[in-house]
Structure 1
């Protein structure tokens, strides 16, 4: 297995970007085989190297693929777009950046052109930690035609109704707009789940969080919301705090769920 940097141009952000791409062992042995794709998203103040350098993702992927717990897959570790402390992978209300467009219209098409992917929602998943956990869910729930599954580890699973006074006075409002406005509803995971729950192609959702994590209340509230809606999901709780020991240690649960979400046979 190998991880290689891949650079591409983002029209949404009008800049050159880099992602890191994990290729399975058999990738170079055949020019015909195509693979499902998993996108890994980092958290606040991170970048496209975070999962490799801090999260031990390469070793985890090697072990899971070797053991058969995860089928051979292309795994893409991307930047959130690189603005400020973090972009949350969405288009910002104040026009600071089109970070959802960057993922949908720059990153994914570039990966599908350059690598032998299976370019289908049923074989494309997204997973992230903290801010990236929110990003994974918001991208999938807003774009179920693009992602068939999403997984969050210690995610910032935000809803406008749960925004604190501190958030209302922070840079978050530049992203969401007025807390009682219409734009924030398009980024509200509670609202988005309620829209998707009855749809046949709603994305499969997994999330896990540590009991000592400061984001634990947001995760338990999201589980309660999904239970109330009847949105089928997988939720797990473990001992642990908001740190890389937890993020990397519980990546296997997220990847195992994604494996189960893929079709039983590859196309």
Structure 2
């Protein structure tokens, strides 16, 4: 029997050792994703959500993390950002590259358009039930500077409304192809048949839409974030906004996104950013714009470790 050269055994052993170390490192650095629900007093029903926890969350028991709430689209659910949006892979990549800090992402589920509509008090449940639950059960910041909110389509509609209504709660907002249509949704939009906006006769409630859309919040928001005479800054900072849309969107999201940008630039001209992508109202566009959206948001959402390093 011919003996193999010693160097071949050494190479094989070293290769096996390297592969084992690589596998162990990959396992140790892996983020985790969990699905949960809790009893919501506002809804009178379970409130579902998915949570992304960054590498080392379980081990770093003293670390407080920034938190970003990501809202799904019309007739979507709490699994969409993971199953279709590549949230976990994108967050892992951006964190490992140092573009964003290790953070917690909360992806709630809703049967409404993130409004207190005809079918569900989704807005109230978000603020009164979900946020307190998250801050009680996860090590996330409970200050404005450590919170962001984003969403796609109907979730973009919701994220914009949440930020404008409560600028005291969020440091940044991202709206991907926001379904923030003015004055009303286009005829092909699912908003026209969504239970959130259907009255007792099953008709689209145009008045409710206009009462809940971002245009109804603009003036109150402007007053809150605009410094008063003789003051250098307002009591509540403005919320920097990222907007994206596909150029071939069947709901004309580019046009409505431009309207949103123009309205916001009148209030905060240096704190609005908009990107346009080839494609339509699809996950291809939202996956493409997610890294830019997160990079933008974390220019304004605080990283506690970065702050400690600068002290």
* TM-score, normalization by structure 2: 0.76
Q: How many residues align?
A: 257
Match of 2:131 among 105, 108, 111: 108
> What's the counterpart of residue 263 of structure 1?
302
> What's the counterpart of residue 150 of structure 2?
127
> What's the counterpart of residue 241 of structure 2?
205
> What's the counterpart of residue 106 of structure 2?
76
> What's the counterpart of residue 26 of structure 1?
56
* TM-score, normalization by structure 1: 0.87
8 Å Cα contact 1:194/1:229 also seen in 2: no
Match of 1:16 among 41, 46, 58: 46
Tell me how far 1:178 sits from its aligned partner. 5.8
8 Å Cα contact 1:211/1:238 also seen in 2: yes
Of 223-232 and 123-132, the range deviating more from structure 2:
223-232
Match of 2:218 among 193, 214, 217: 193
> What's the counterpart of residue 242 of structure 1?
281
User: How do 1:30-69 residues align onto structure 2 when only pairs under 5 Å count?
Assistant: 30-69=60-99
Structure with bigger RCO (C-alpha 8 Å, 6+ apart): 1
1:227 and 2:255 are equivalent in the alignment: no
Which of 1 and 2 has greater Rg? 2
Match of 2:162 among 135, 139, 163: 139
Tell me the distance in 1 between the aligned counterparts of 2:67 and 2:41.
22
Tell me the distance in 2 between the aligned counterparts of 1:16 and 1:163.
30
8 Å Cα contact 1:206/1:254 also seen in 2: yes
Tell me how far 1:141 sits from its aligned partner. 0.9
Tell me the distance in 2 between the aligned counterparts of 1:238 and 1:165.
23
SS at match of 1:13: coil
CA offsets per residue over residues 199-229 of structure 1, 9 Å max, x none? 1322221111111112222112212222344
> What's the counterpart of residue 15 of structure 2?
none
Q: Structure 1 unaligned runs (5+)?
A: none
8 Å Cα contact 1:37/1:117 also seen in 2: yes
CA offsets per residue over residues 44-89 of structure 1, 9 Å max, x none? 1210001111111100000000001110100111102x2xxxx110
Tell me how far 1:17 sits from its aligned partner. 2.3
The 3 A distance-change label for structure 1 pair 230 and 125 is closer
Tell me the distance in 2 between the aligned counterparts of 1:246 and 1:165.
22
Of 57-66 and 4-13, the range deviating more from structure 2:
4-13
Tell me the distance in 2 between the aligned counterparts of 1:15 and 1:173.
20
The 3 A distance-change label for structure 1 pair 6 and 165 is closer
SS at match of 1:108: helix
Q: Structure 2 unaligned runs (5+)?
A: 1-30, 226-233
